[in-house]
């Protein structure tokens, strides 16, 4: 598959897995979700991850290829199985996860092939979960460092259970140009990073401390706060009929990346990202087919 020089390359770096729902399985993994939604928004979506040499690995690669995503940065592992997350829903219809360990994406390696793909990136999205093993954490850091000076390095904090360490987060913040987290993660991390708990002051201080371009704090149905070196604004949420929230935050991230690559203002970026996230929340699963809806929305 050749590269289109007119379309930005957006890489989702980290976990690629199957979300196992009560009614069946669907492909997922936060970085993979971002790459998938970026592809639907007209970018060249690339998933950089590792899956097993097994049936689940074959199936997820076949799915991504069928949607036009580039899979040349997906490694295969002879021993570790393809990742799985068991998803259930509580009384408030919020997802709860069992993230199975010792799977293929925990063994991600920084290879020559991965380096060549990373050098092409206009944007890369990486998170915290894929850093839970020392092997994959080292590979993620090396891969992000391999991107060009102009690449948008988007760190979606995305803390899951106890799979994080403040030192990993600090290292990721040093590499990032854009940071996205939710309001609960602000409450959790502010004292650990010795930052103000007020969202605006937290964002301003984080930008100064780590020389960031942009900090985004999402608030679920209440919208988001976007803070750059020049301004800090809040964007209200848009009410939607929620099917499930799995992958909605990742879709928001894809919308934010698309908007920033397109030169949109802070306000436009927040509004587009909110709408993209809301559209995905109104459908089941992290990767619904919404390309036509996205096209209408951004036009």
Please tell me the distance from the alpha carbon of residue 273 to that of residue 254, in angstroms, as a whole number. Answer: 7
Instruction: Give tens-digit pLDDT for 86-138.
Output: 988 888 877 788 999 999 999 999 999 999 999 999 999 999 999 999 999 99
Terminal C-alpha separation, the chain? 27
Indicate the range of 215-229, 235-249, 254-268 predicted with least confidence.
Answer: 235-249
Residue ranges of domains in the chain: 9-287
pLDDT band at 22 (very low <50, low <70, confident <90, very high): confident
Whose CA is closest to 272, among 261, 288, 286?
261
Helix (H, G, I), strand (E, B) or coil at 173: helix
DSSP code string of 89-146:
E-TTS-EEEEE--S-GGGG----HHHHHHHTT-SEEEE-SGGGSSHHHHHHHHHHHHT
The mean pLDDT of 3-29, rounded to a whole number, is 93
pLDDT for the residue numbered 247? 82
Q: Which residue has the tokens 């030169």?
A: 263
Mean pLDDT of the chain: 94
The mean pLDDT of 230-253, rounded to a whole number, is 87
pLDDT for the residue numbered 1? 63
The mean pLDDT of 268-278, rounded to a whole number, is 93
Please tell me the distance from the alpha carbon of residue 118 to that of residue 87, in angstroms, as a whole number. Answer: 31
Instruction: Give tens-digit pLDDT for 175-190.
Output: 999 999 999 999 999 9
Residue 175 CB: number of other CB atoms within 10 A? 16
Q: How far is CA 17 from CA 58, 60, 102, 103, 138, in A?
A: 12, 8, 12, 9, 20
pLDDT of 244 strictly over 80? no
The mean pLDDT of 19-32, rounded to a whole number, is 90
| Neighbouring-strand partners of residue 24 | 21
Compute the residue count for the chain. 299
DSSP 196: -
Rg (the chain; Cα; Å): 18
The number of CA neighbours under 13 Å toward the Cβ of 182 is 13
Instruction: Give tens-digit pLDDT for 137-178.
Output: 999 999 999 999 999 999 999 999 999 999 999 999 999 999
User: Does the domain made of 9-287 have the CATH classification 3.40.1190.20?
Assistant: yes
pTM of the model: 0.94
Whose CA is closest to 118, among 133, 140, 135?
140
pLDDT for the residue numbered 82? 98
The mean pLDDT of 252-281, rounded to a whole number, is 94
Q: How far is CA 286 from CA 41, 122, 228, 293, in A?
A: 15, 23, 28, 16
The mean pLDDT of 266-285, rounded to a whole number, is 91
Whose CA is closest to 243, among 199, 202, 284, 204?
284
Strands 74-77 and 178-182: unpaired
């Amino acid at each position: 598959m050749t590269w289109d020089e007119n379309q930005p390359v957006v890489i989702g770096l980290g976990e690629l897995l199957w979300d196992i729902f009560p009614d069946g399985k669907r492909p997922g993994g936060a970085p993979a979700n971002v790459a998938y939604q970026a592809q639907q928004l007209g970018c060249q979506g690339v998933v950089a991850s590792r899956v097993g040499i097994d049936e689940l690995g074959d199936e997820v690669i076949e799915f991504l290829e069928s949607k036009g995503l580039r899979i040349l940065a997906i490694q295969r592992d002879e021993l570790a199985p393809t990742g799985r997350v068991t998803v259930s829903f509580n009384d408030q219809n919020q997802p709860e996860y069992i993230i199975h360990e010792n799977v293929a994406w925990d063994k991600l390696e920084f290879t020559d092939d991965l380096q060549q793909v990373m050098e092409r990136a206009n944007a890369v999205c990486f998170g915290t979960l894929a850093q839970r093993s020392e092997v994959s954490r080292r590979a993620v850091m090396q891969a992000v460092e391999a991107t060009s000076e102009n690449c948008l390095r988007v760190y979606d904090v995305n803390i899951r259970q106890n799979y994080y360490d403040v030192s990993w987060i600090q290292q990721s913040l040093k590499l990032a140009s854009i940071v996205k987290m939710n309001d609960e993660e602000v409450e959790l991390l502010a004292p650990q990073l010795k930052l103000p708990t007020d969202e605006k002051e937290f964002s301003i201080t984080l930008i100064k401390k780590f020389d960031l371009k942009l900090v985004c704090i999402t608030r679920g149905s209440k919208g988001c706060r976007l803070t750059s070196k020049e301004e800090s604004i809040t964007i209200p949420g848009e009410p939607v009929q929620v099917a499930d929230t799995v992958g909605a935050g990742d879709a928001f991230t894809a919308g934010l990346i698309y908007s920033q690559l397109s030169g949109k203002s802070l306000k436009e970026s927040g509004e587009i990202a909110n709408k993209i996230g809301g559209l995905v929340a109104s459908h089941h699963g992290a990767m619904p087919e919404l390309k036509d809806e996205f096209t209408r929305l951004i036009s």
